[in-house]
């Protein structure tokens, strides 16, 4: 798939993309974040190119090249008849005599989620002579835009941890490798960043409310089209986050305590209503069928795996009760595995190193702070409550569905920036009392306010 055309055009497009990045950097950065903009974009580019090379020369094929096969067919249709090309670009699996000869060659034409990726890639192909590596770079840029929005949101929430938050959002190897190329994961994690940005700037701490909500809605549309279960995992904690934030703004302690059950009830009702209506009629994600679909996915992916990367978290029999029973094991496998001794190839080794880092940070935090104080901090800080709940819910979802580490490493990347960001924020919160004593409370608060002012993007 990668040929001489890629070798010739990729450096040219890279130069153009970097020129654009340097041109807009001032607009989308501030004094705290400016130095991370180009490095963060660079690792996304690196991940996009490496993904293609590894799939071609290590795996000998795979999903990213299957998507590219569909992209080539749509691009061919454009070169032969723009009318047919546009029909295919906006097709949704329907039969059309004009497009039938092309649609019959595309395995995923009637699969809405996979074909969505092909349509996005085909649109990009029109601007780069259908060059695989350049299309991959465009996916990386699109993904980066959402992840930069995610990072700016975290920095606005807690500017003191801006350095560590950059690591959590951009420099986890699994995230920038699997979340950058021509894959579902690239669009999903970028779209999730825009949803997070939209929720915070549109509903939690309003800033450019209409614009933020529009960006969040676009992100939701992409996730619904590709991996709706990510949104189903996001919505309940996000709604709880909103209500917790507004509950904390009530000045009267008595009224605040009295209002909390109401906020919780409204948030839970909204979450249930949203989840039910989003998935109604969807054979894969309808809440009435989700337990059975989980069993089917787990059985298939476990059986399909033949390279020693399968894992066992217990029996899933298609009932909700069985999912609840294996939920603790699913959380552990998603957040903290594969262990180092379970790594069977270089890709799994990277994931194992990240999981080990998560284990270390989690253990150190709870050990130094204390379990009860840590849990109290999580409950009292709405952003921490949101991050950990979202990570746990998605961990259960992907841990019970994947069945093997090969797919798990891709499925879990949306939760990784949120979990690690929460750990880093907790570290700073736990150290705040000590710094108050050493610097003096007024000095510490002054530094926090100064960083808060710097964290505003002009």
Question: Residue 438 has what pLDDT?
Answer: 56
pLDDT in tens, 191-204: 999 999 999 999 98
Does the predicted model carry a pTM greater than 0.85?
A: yes
Assigned token pair, 155: 């920095």
pLDDT in tens, 43-78: 999 999 999 999 988 888 889 999 999 999 999 999
Distance in angstroms (rounded) separating the CA atoms of residues 37 and 149: 11
Query: Residues 15, 18, 22, 24: what is their CA dihedral angle, to the nearest 10 degrees?
Result: 120
151: Cβ–Cβ under 8 A, 6 or more apart, which residues?
33, 36, 40, 165, 166, 169, 170, 193
Distance in angstroms (rounded) separating the CA atoms of residues 84 and 368: 63
Residue 280 has pLDDT above 70, yes or no: no
Boundaries of every domain in the chain: 4-170, 289-458
Question: Residue 435 has what pLDDT?
Answer: 61
Distance in angstroms (rounded) separating the CA atoms of residues 3 and 96: 33
Question: Backbone phi, then psi, for 404, in 5-degree steps?
Answer: -150, 155
DSSP letter assigned to residue 159: G
């Amino acid at each position: 798939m990668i040929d001489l055309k890629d070798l010739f055009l990729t450096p040219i497009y890279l130069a153009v993309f970097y020129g654009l990045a340097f041109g807009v950097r001032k607009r989308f950065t501030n004094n705290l974040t400016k130095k991370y903009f180009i490095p963060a974009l660079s690792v996304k580019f690196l991940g996009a190119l490496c993904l293609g090379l590894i799939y071609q020369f290590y795996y000998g094929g795979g999903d990213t090249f299957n998507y590219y096969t569909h992209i080539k067919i749509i691009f061919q249709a454009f070169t032969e008849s723009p009318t047919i090309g546009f029909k295919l670009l906006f097709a949704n699996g329907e039969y059309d005599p004009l497009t039938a000869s092309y649609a019959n060659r595309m395995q995923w034409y009637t699969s809405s989620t996979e074909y969505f990726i092909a349509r996005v890639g085909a649109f990009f192909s029109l601007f780069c002579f259908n060059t695989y590596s350049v299309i991959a770079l465009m996916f990386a840029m699109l993904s980066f835009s959402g992840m930069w929005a995610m990072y700016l949101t975290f920095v606005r929430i807690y500017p003191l941890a801006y350095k560590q938050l950059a690591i959590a959002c951009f420099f986890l190897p699994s995230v920038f490798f699997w979340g950058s190329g021509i894959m579902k994961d690239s669009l999903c994690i970028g779209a999730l960043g825009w949803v997070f940005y939209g929720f915070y700037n549109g509903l939690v701490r309003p800033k450019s409310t209409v614009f933020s909500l529009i960006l969040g809605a676009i992100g939701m549309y992409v996730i619904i089209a590709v991996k709706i279960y990510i949104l189903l995992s996001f919505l309940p904690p996000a709604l709880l986050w909103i209500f917790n934030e507004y509950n904390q703004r009530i000045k009267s302690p008595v009224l605040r305590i009295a209002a909390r059950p109401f906020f919780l009830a409204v948030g839970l009702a909204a979450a249930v209503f949203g989840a039910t209506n989003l998935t109604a009629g969807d054979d894969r994600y309808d809440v009435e069928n989700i337990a059975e679909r989980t069993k089917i996915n787990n059985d298939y992916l476990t059986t399909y795996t033949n390279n020693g990367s399968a894992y066992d978290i217990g029996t899933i029999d298609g009932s909700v009760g069985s999912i609840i029973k294996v939920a603790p094991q699913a959380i552990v496998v998603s957040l903290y595995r594969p262990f180092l001794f379970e790594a069977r190839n270089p890709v799994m080794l990277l994931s194992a190193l990240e999981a080990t880092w998560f284990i270390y940070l989690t253990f150190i935090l709870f050990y130094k702070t204390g379990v009860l104080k840590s849990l109290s901090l999580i409950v009292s800080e709405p952003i921490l409550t949101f991050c950990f709940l979202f990570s746990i819910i998605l961990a259960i979802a992907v841990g019970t569905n994947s069945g093997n580490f090969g797919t798990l490493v891709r499925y879990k990347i949306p939760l990784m920036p949120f979990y690690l960001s929460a750990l880093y924020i907790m570290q700073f919160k736990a150290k705040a009392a000590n710094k108050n004593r050493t610097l003096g409370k007024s000095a510490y608060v002054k530094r926090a306010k100064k960083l808060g002012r710097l964290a505003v993007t002009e």
